[in-house]
Structure 1
Amino acid sequence: MTSAFFFNNIYYNTCTQQHFSIKALFDGNILSSVLNRLPPNAQVLDLGCGSGCWVMDMAIDYPHFQFIGVDMADMFPTAIRPENVKFQLQNILQGLPFPDNTFDFVHMRLLIIAFQKKDWPWVLSEIYRVLKPGGIVQLMESDFTEKTNVPIVEKFNNEFIKAMLDLEQDPWIGSKLSHLLEEQNFQVVELKEKYLDYKLPLNPISKEMLTNWKDAMLSIRPMLAHRFESADYNAVVDQYIDGITQAGWKVKLWALCGQKKE
């Protein structure tokens, strides 16, 4: 079994677990301010769609909408695909290959380690460009920077943050999204904040997301493993996950919608 196959399987499973956990946490795939602002035949773009779970789920719920999922990794479903869904291989940072004023709704979530800090304003400007006047963008990002009193959790999180900063990424991007949207001329129309509470006993959503977080940390081994010297990285991750529940760690998620001016 190749390392690429192992990574792809983790990535696919992580996307799937993540999707249904977030859907349960936020009581649906879209915030309440979105649907009443969309036309009955909405054109929808999902950026960084991964395995396509959000797109596929939405396409079944809204069969009169047309969906395009975009990702730089070809993890798209092939055997089963609703007729109102297309997928496209594309690196977002190379620009969105769509004309101005194409989409009614753009969805993008949990790309905190996909972009450098400098990329966020440009990506949001591209989203603004491809949205129709009055169109909506929905964003979601997390914050894993809350402090604990458990050494392994602090060590791992600090190394993760250092790695992100070395790559010129922004660990605190979630708290900045509202301001960034306003800078790109969006009107913020809804903001929701939710917490994943990892205090024992875990509720079903937190339990699923903790498994998802472990898989995510295993998938970024090249980014972190060398920071733990000669230690077995898998064992470090196991200790870290145990420490999270010991600490009763909380992770904050921001979900917000911005509307392009008419």
Structure 2
Amino acid sequence: MGGSMSTEERKRSASGNGNGGSSRKSDPNDSGGSVSSSNVSRSQTSDNSITPSHDFEWLQRNKLPKSHGVAYFLPPTDKEVDRYQMQHELLCIAFGKYSPHIAEVLTPGAKVLDVGCGSGEWMCEMAIEFAKVDFVGIDIANIFPISVKPNNCQFKLGNVLDGLPFPDDSFEFVHIRVMALGIKTERWPELLREGFRVLKPGGHLQVMEADPMVYNCGNAKQWFKGVCEMLAARGLDPFVGPKLHVLLSEVGFTSVYRKTRSIPIGWCGYVGKLMLDNTVTAAKAGKATLSGITPVPVNEYDQYIDSIGRACANSNAYCNFYSSWGKKPLLNLASSASNL
């Protein structure tokens, strides 16, 4: 559990588990494309009251450029880039690569923007599936694929908090996910407004996030609560996920929807093992910052995180993922004509 397993290793390990593979169950209240454990309680929020603290010293020990407004603290190392693939797989298991109705705008000649694209896993897979659609990704970290990428993919280096460097009405689909560790609370409406601006009328925006809080995790609860307090002290909103559909409506999107999925950590077959590996790897990647909230010396930090992982697995712990999406209204032709 201390290191990252490969995808095949996780699958082989899960196949020997008494639970078999992941427990997949469609939610009758959702519109397809999603899975969750049938044994996991959903959307617990009783621990979501977090008081910001200012007792933390922020250690900027990563390879990200120093840019205004960026709060992200997980360094984009090779191991962290590998974790992005795990995270991508988990999100696809939970919600699919995209909400089914979004396929209607992914027609030949359409353009898609991936905001905070990371190492481009989602973009590259989508570009293969939709070979006649053009995909553009933007991220602050230069960890883009160089030699192996579809011809209909291009990547742009930039800080999305400086504004999206594209004209109005440029894209049919804007995709945003797992930005909560880098976007401060007050900047979320601004980011979503930028997404709205660059969308063509009738286009769609989808945003996915996960709570850093882990539920039903036994004696690991205080550590995860401490992580949330730390994020709040950094000016981030650790629970922005369940609020995103409201923010989308406030920005001007219509036909706004939300899905919630609970993901097991360390139990329930392959999905649980994947989520456990993702959780432990992310916690170890944030050692320079997170060791400040951990009740052991720094040289014992990794072993402590392993014990957190075991507590999650033994307690049937889970975390919540959220996906929200909306549509940019079509131009009101009557209103436009009256303004001529």
TM-score normalised per structure 2: 0.72
The equivalent position to 1:36 in structure 2, one of 95, 98, 104, is: 104
CA displacement at 1:162 relative to structure 2: 1.1
Equivalent residue of 2:101, what SS?
helix
Within a 5 Å distance, the mapping from 1:119-198 to structure 2 comes to 119-148=187-216, 150-151=218-219, 153-198=220-265
Is contact 1:141-1:254 (8 Å) kept?
yes
Equivalent residue of 1:101, what SS?
coil
Change (3 A) 1:199 1:52: closer
243-252 or 187-196: bigger deviation: 187-196
Is contact 1:159-1:224 (8 Å) kept?
no
Unaligned runs of 5+ in 2: 1-60, 64-74, 331-340
Q: How many residues align?
A: 257
Change (3 A) 1:85 1:149: closer
Equivalent residue of 1:36, what SS?
helix
Partner of 2:288: 222
238-247 or 3-12: bigger deviation: 3-12
Report the residue type matching 1:21 in the other structure: L
Equivalent residue of 1:144, what SS?
coil
Residue 149 of structure 2 corresponds to residue 81 of structure 1: yes
Report the residue type matching 1:176 in the other structure: K
Change (3 A) 1:235 1:7: farther
Change (3 A) 1:64 1:36: same
Report the residue type matching 2:178 in the other structure: L
Partner of 1:18: 87
The equivalent position to 1:97 in structure 2, one of 147, 158, 165, is: 165
81-90 or 247-256: bigger deviation: 247-256
Residues 227-247 of structure 1: CA deviation (Å, up to 9, x unaligned): 225422211211111111122
Equivalent residue of 1:49, what SS?
coil
CA displacement at 1:199 relative to structure 2: 6.2
More strand by share: 1
Instruction: Give distance in 1, aligned partners of 2:240 and 2:190.
Output: 14
Residues 166-221 of structure 1: CA deviation (Å, up to 9, x unaligned): 10100110110010000000014432221102363x32122112111211111222
Partner of 1:9: 78
Equivalent residue of 2:261, what SS?
strand
Instruction: Give distance in 2, aligned partners of 1:95 and 1:207.
Output: 38
Partner of 2:136: 68
Partner of 2:175: 107
Instruction: Give distance in 2, aligned partners of 1:215 and 1:170.
Output: 22
Is contact 1:99-1:130 (8 Å) kept?
yes
207-216 or 226-235: bigger deviation: 226-235
Is contact 1:93-1:123 (8 Å) kept?
yes
Unaligned runs of 5+ in 1: none
Report the residue type matching 2:146 in the other structure: T
**Which of these two proteins has the greater Rg computed from alpha carbons?**
2
Instruction: Give distance in 1, aligned partners of 2:277 and 2:289.
Output: 19
Equivalent residue of 2:156, what SS?
strand
Instruction: Give distance in 2, aligned partners of 1:25 and 1:154.
Output: 23
CA displacement at 1:7 relative to structure 2: 4.9
TM-score normalised per structure 1: 0.92
Identity %: 30
